[in-house]
């Protein structure tokens, strides 16, 4: 039988900047202060976001049409927005910590990338927000928090 470790020294907080994610970050910050644990923040972006921009579905704030940008330029622009908005909001929600949280932006399927990060970085606990979808919306849109809870290599706390 495998030995059970109860020490939590590394907490992963997936974020998308939503209210649920910010609540989860606040909870994770309290937990990290109590346990003197370090925190990693991950924001997973879907490749599906790039194509609508490449098709010219909007204008870049400075006036450059997305359709005149390369896929790499669109990806960089989207990542820059995340670094300027969602990540700082999540770090603020964490509150004062003993050490600066590590942050990462990755591309792929959210649940898979969160679980992969947890495995590769020896995460002891994932604290993730719930959007609170039920019924048909959950069936159609899925639940990242539910998928993470079922696939993660470590315990998962879902914050509502």
pLDDT at residue 104, as a whole number: 95
Rounded mean pLDDT for each run of 10 residues along the chain, 160 residues in total:
72 94 97 96 84 54 62 86 92 94 95 97 96 52 84 95
Q: What does pTM read for this prediction? A: 0.83
pLDDT at residue 42, as a whole number: 97
pLDDT at residue 64, as a whole number: 56
The answer to whether residues 128 and 145 touch, using CB atoms and an 8 Å cutoff, is: yes
Angstrom distances, CA of residue 132 to CA of 15, 17, 34: 15, 15, 27
pLDDT at residue 70, as a whole number: 79
């Amino acid at each position: 039988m495998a030995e059970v470790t109860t020490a939590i020294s590394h907490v992963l907080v997936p974020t998308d900047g939503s209210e649920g994610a910010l609540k989860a970050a606040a909870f994770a910050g309290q937990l990290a202060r109590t346990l003197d644990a370090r925190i990693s923040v991950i924001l997973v972006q879907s490749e599906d976001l790039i194509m609508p921009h490449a098709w010219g579905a909007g204008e870049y704030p400075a006036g450059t049409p997305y359709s005149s940008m390369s896929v790499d330029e669109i990806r960089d622009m989207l990542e820059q927005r995340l670094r300027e908005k969602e990540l700082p909001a999540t770090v603020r929600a964490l509150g004062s910590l003993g050490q600066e949280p590590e942050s990462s932006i990755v591309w792929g399927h959210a649940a898979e990338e969160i679980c992969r990060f947890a495995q590769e970085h020896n995460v002891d606990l994932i604290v993730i927000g719930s959007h609170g979808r039920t019924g048909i919306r959950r069936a159609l849109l899925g639940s990242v928090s539910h998928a993470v809870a079922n696939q993660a290599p470590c315990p998962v706390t879902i914050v509502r």
